[in-house]
Structure 1
Amino acid sequence: MNLIKFNYKVLIICLLLGGFYSCKNNSEEKETAAVENSEITDPWDEADGIIKNITVPTFPDTNFNVQDYGAVADGTTNNSQAFADAIAACSEDGGGKVIVPSGKYLTGPIHLKSNVNFHLEDGAEILFSTNKSDYLPVVHTSYEGMEMMDYSPLIYAYQQENIAVTGKGTFNGQAGNDNWWPWSGAERYGYKEGDQNQRDEHNLPRLSKMVEDGVAVEDRIFGEGHQFRPTFFEPFECSNVLIKDVKFINAPFWVMHPIKSNNVTVDGVTVESHGPNNDGCNPEYSKNVHIKNCLFDTGDDCIAIKSGRDNDGRRVGIKSENIIVEDCIMKDGHGGVVMGSEISGGVSNVFVRNCEMNSPNLDRAIRIKTNTRRGGTIENIYVKNIEVGQVKEAVLKINTHYAIYDNQEGEFMPVIRNIYLEDINVENGGEYGILIRGREESPVANVNLTNVHIKNAETPLLVENAEEISFENVTINGKKITN
């Protein structure tokens, strides 16, 4: 495989009307730690091995109908206690299935226990309360990669094992411009000038300062009087988690957020939620995650892999790894499969295959975002057999200068290496085909494109501070890219 090495401070490769400017590094060839996966003959065998070893929970054939515990499907009666009683009875009996029959059920947060499959029958819809006090007392949770004590997630499990939410029903977070979303501070989501929001001094700045100062998580108390939106489904420090067939709509914040969890399967799930930060699935500090057969139509990233923000990510020190995404459809979203920006603990061994990504409102297909406050090592990313209809900005975007907040420069140089894209077909490549912005002190290393064909990209390639880019049978706008 031929390699091109780039170590200029800025290199821009542009194809305009058929012109291609090829640049090669004249410096001496040298070995790099980036090529540490050379012993793997087929990474997809490794992916199959990870899937084979993921424990998918099974449950005793015992049913607990929530209506037997007082649940009423009228859309107005609060069923929090009935749901809690059914879950407790199921868990105490050794496990089984908590059944929610067809109908509309209003509830506060649902807290799962070990060995419980919370199952929505076809036609069942869970309506989550719009009364914020229902989500108190505070629980151990997280916001944008920083742990804290805050409002309960809508569905929550803490240090449990063998848990599931399944069935053909719908979880409706009832978030909107009149509930939860205005706290984002964005006018298009209902925020009005003068209202309190997450950016106020007593919210994100206070939490960020606590993280910087090393305040213990149990002392980072928020909840009432603060404006942090809860995640929708959050298994926290759990093992053997299954999310299957259900539908999530109208989420306050991130939709599925397995954090510090192991053996997570997301199968056949539909996410249709276009609110602020409505990421579809965010594995964080999590290992052995299999996301398959899902539909993501979101207000933010379809899938975003996380591992903590700044000092909190370094304090926890757990990377997300062994994550497989396959046979999924990505529609609207900031990115199809994304790593970052809360990535300080690092990410490795991500496999994406057999997916469709297509929407005029999908910004990027594959994205990696970090900076020198986040740092982190992002490595061994494999993408294969992806059909992209349309993206706005780029098919592949790697950015080590990511900034949505002020002061995003620090002392933690990110490392990005071993990126493989293979068998990718793109009809409309957007503003850029490939967009890479590394750092002079830490160039993006060992990027490989094989059988990648991108049409209708305004600027085919923009590469800054990257080494070891390999092209094999790559065309952009019909022109072959050669080394």
Structure 2
Amino acid sequence: MISSNNKTFKFAVMLLFLLQLSFNVEMYAGKKKDYPVTSFGAVADGKTLNTKAIQKAIDAANKNGGGRVVFSKGKFLTGSIVIKSGVNLFFEEDAVLLGSTNPEDYPKFGEIRALIISNASKNIAITGKGIIDGQGRELALAVDSLHHTGVKIDPNYNYRRLRSSDGRGKLVSFVKCDSITMKNITLKNSSGWVQCFDQSKNIVIDAIKVDSRAYWNNDGIDIDGCENVRITNCDVNSADDGICLKSETPGLQNNNIYIANCTVRSSANALKFGTGSYGSFKNVTIENIQVFDTFRSAIAIESVDGAEIENIKVSNITAVNTGNAILIRLGHRNGDKPGYIKNVSIKDVKAQIPFGRPDIDYDMRGPEVDYFHNPFPASIAGIPGYSIENVTLENIEITYPGRATKGMAYLPLSRLKDVLENIKGYPEFTMFGELPSWGFYVRHVNGIQMKNIKLILEKEDFRPAFVFDDVKDLVMENINVPSDKIQQIIFKEVLSANLDTESLKKVNEPKQNTFELPKK
């Protein structure tokens, strides 16, 4: 016989259980539902084309208010799929999304051609510990063969480099989206740009890995006309620019960008503003970046299509085996008038420049310069009538290889006027041809502070460390250059210079008629 006390106790326990169950149901109802792609007919054998099945899972998640479209362990082959609002593509460990190698599986979605597409969506994500493999080289060669067999002619086919531009597409392309998350995923082997975020906002890219050296134009991360972007803890290894801010559309801006704690290896530039530079780049902070085996510049800030670039802060950059440390270029390739570059701070940089090309181990390498040159210095260069303004360089150490010879494209200091302006040229650290300095070449700049600059030569270089041409408001403090020769700093049309005593000793002597010390 059960006592009333026991009945009361059991009732209380049952009531507590029911309340807890009710609470759990309510909590579960608040979570986003999972939509396994295998439940919609997808087969993880690496051979079955799963485009329709995966799209059904995405559509179902979107229709029901959002959820995770889950890829379990295995290889899922697909053509283009479209992410919609509220959908997170989630990859379990050892899950692989394989891009089809058939160009017909990549129809255009509006103007977008990519493996994973989203347009005007909100709250979308790609997360998990899986891999998205575009099989880009195989796809690109298939596109190429269509051109040569006459099946699909590319009117812009590049016969010099034997590659097609149309039909290759990107791995990931998000346009006009809001609230994007990319986390932990590995992206590899794109046929074009790996991932592009265009005219979007509120983007978080964290702890992803990019390994894409499959074909040409394999930019690692492209941000084009976006606002409120965080790129952190990423490992990028790409056959083209590593992390690249672009502005391909006039009137749009990249604003409030934060890039930190990343490693970049590139057969082009590691961190780049441009080349497309029609809109603006404002309020960008880049810090704690490791760069290695990179063919072009570790840091490239370029406005050549009218872009406005201002309030840029770069700090704590380590670059090893890199073709160039710093390039800041204001040119006028397109647009009614040049843009501007101002208020740029670059601090705490340590770089090592090799004598040979640093990307020699890539099978897809950036194009060589057209003819031999002595090693190139870092360059900060505007154009006549349009100066770069307010640049601060502080705590910079660059090791150069030296080994320059007067027998190779010799440009004496008496011919500084012959250094190419190349106003309309493609921005690159090699764009001016032979340069008359081995450390820094600075031209058409208004307001530049250089503090705690150490330049090291591994071998002899006959050129001076610094050349300043058409520069105003120059400040130099604690400049450390090899002491085996004087006249390491050359002035041409330099006004309002303020140098400390030790730096002043390294300036060319005033008795030389071609160059005169500025009046303080």
TM-score (structure 2 length as normaliser): 0.67
In the TM superposition, 1:49-448 aligns within 5 A as 60-136=31-107, 138-140=108-110, 149=111, 152-176=113-137, 178-180=138-140, 201=155, 227-274=166-213, 275-308=215-248, 313-314=249-250, 317-359=251-293, 361-371=294-304, 374-392=305-323, 394-401=324-331, 408=333, 411-428=336-353, 431-448=375-392
- Determine if contact 1:158/1:236 at 8 Å carries over to the other structure: yes
Task: Specify the SS of the correspondent of 1:399.
Answer: strand
* Identity between Structure 1 and Structure 2 (%): 29
Match of 2:442 in 1: 463
Structure 2 segments unaligned to the other structure (5+ residues): 1-29, 159-163, 356-374, 403-437, 458-478, 482-497, 500-520
Q: Deviation digits for residues 226-284 of structure 1, max 9, x if unmatched? A: 82421211111111100111111110111111111000011111111112111111111
Question: Tell me, which stretches of 5 or more residues in structure 1 are unaligned?
Answer: 1-58, 141-148, 184-189, 205-224, 403-407
Q: Post-superposition shift, 1:197?
A: 12
Q: Structure 2: how far apart are the matches of 1:89 and 1:368?
A: 44
- Per the alignment, residue 43 of structure 1 pairs with none
- Tell which has more relative contact order, 1 or 2 (C-alpha 8 A, sep 6+): 1
Q: Structure 1: how far apart are the matches of 2:315 and 2:167?
A: 37
Q: Distance in 1 between matches of 2:229 and 2:199?
A: 11
Q: Does 1:473 pair with 2:412?
A: no
3-state secondary structure, aligned to 1:450: strand
Query: What corresponds to 2:394 in structure 1?
Result: 450
Q: Do 1:198 and 1:228's aligned partners in 2 also have CA atoms closer than 8 Å?
A: no
* Residues 192/78 of structure 1: CA separation in 2 closer, same or farther (3 Å cut): closer
- Structure 1 partner of 2:3: none
Task: Report if aligned partners of 2:384, 2:444 keep a CA contact under 8 Å in 1.
Answer: yes
Judging changes above 3 Å, is the alpha-carbon distance between structure 1 residues 113 and 423 closer, same or farther for their aligned structure 2 residues? Answer: same
Aligned CA distance change for structure 1 residues 378 and 428 (closer, same or farther; 3 Å): same
User: Which amino acid is 1:357 matched to?
Assistant: V
Bigger Rg, structure 1 or 2: 2
Distance 1:291 1:196 in 2: 42
CA distance in 2, matches of 1:436, 1:474: 15
1:109–1:200 CA distance, 2 compared to 1 (3 A): closer
For residues 160-190 of structure 1, the C-alpha deviation after alignment (integer angstroms, 9 at most, x for no partner) is 10000011111111111x422586xxxxxx7
SS of alignment partner, residue 335 of structure 1: coil
Q: Residues 473 and 251 (structure 1 numbering): CA distance in 2 closer, same or farther, change over 3 Å?
A: same
Shift of 1:422: 0.9
Using a 3 Å threshold, how does the CA distance of structure 1 residues 453 and 234 change in structure 2: closer, same or farther?
Answer: same
> Helix, strand or coil: the match of 2:195?
coil
The answer for the alignment partner of 1:207 in structure 2 is: none
**CA separation of 1:230 and 1:193: change in aligned 2, threshold 3 A:** closer
CA contact (8 A) 2:146 2:153 kept: no
Deviations 1:420-453 (A, max 9, x none): 1111122337734421221112111111111111
Whole-angstrom distance in 2 between the partners of 1:429 and 1:473: 22
When residues 202 and 298 of structure 1 are mapped into structure 2, their CA distance, relative to the original with a 3 A threshold, is closer
Q: Which amino acid in structure 2 is aligned with residue 118 of structure 1?
A: L
| Corresponding pairs, count | 373
1:457 to 1:349, Cα distance in 2 relative to 1, 3 A: farther
> What is the Cα-based RMSD across aligned positions, in Å?
2.7
**Structure 1 96/358 Cα, relative in aligned 2: closer, same or farther at 3 Å?**
same
Aligned partner of residue 62 in structure 2, secondary structure: helix
Q: Closer, same or farther in 2 for the Cα pair 1:410/1:71, shift >3 Å?
A: closer
Q: Which amino acid aligns with 1:161?
A: K
Instruction: Tell me which residue corresponds to 2:365.
Output: none
**Partner SS state of residue 154, structure 1:** strand
* Matches of 2:331 and 2:147, distance apart in 1: 30
Partner Cα separation in structure 2 for residue 247 and residue 97 of structure 1:
18
Is the 2:303–2:340 Cα contact (8 Å) retained in structure 1?
no
Give the 3-state SS of the residue equivalent to 2:343 in structure 1. Answer: strand
Between stretches 193-202 and 350-359, larger displacement belongs to 193-202
In structure 2, how many angstroms separate the alpha carbons of the residues matched to 1:448 and 1:195? 55
Counterpart contact for 2:346–2:392, Cα < 8 Å: yes
TM-score, normalising length from structure 1?
0.72
CA distance in structure 1 between the aligned counterparts of 2:63 and 2:203, rounded to whole angstroms: 23
- Change in CA separation of 1:250 and 1:396 when aligned onto 2, cut-off 3 Å: same
Letter in 2 for 1:180: A
Q: Please say if residues 147 and 154 of structure 2, whose CA atoms lie closer than 8 Å, have aligned partners that are also in contact.
A: no
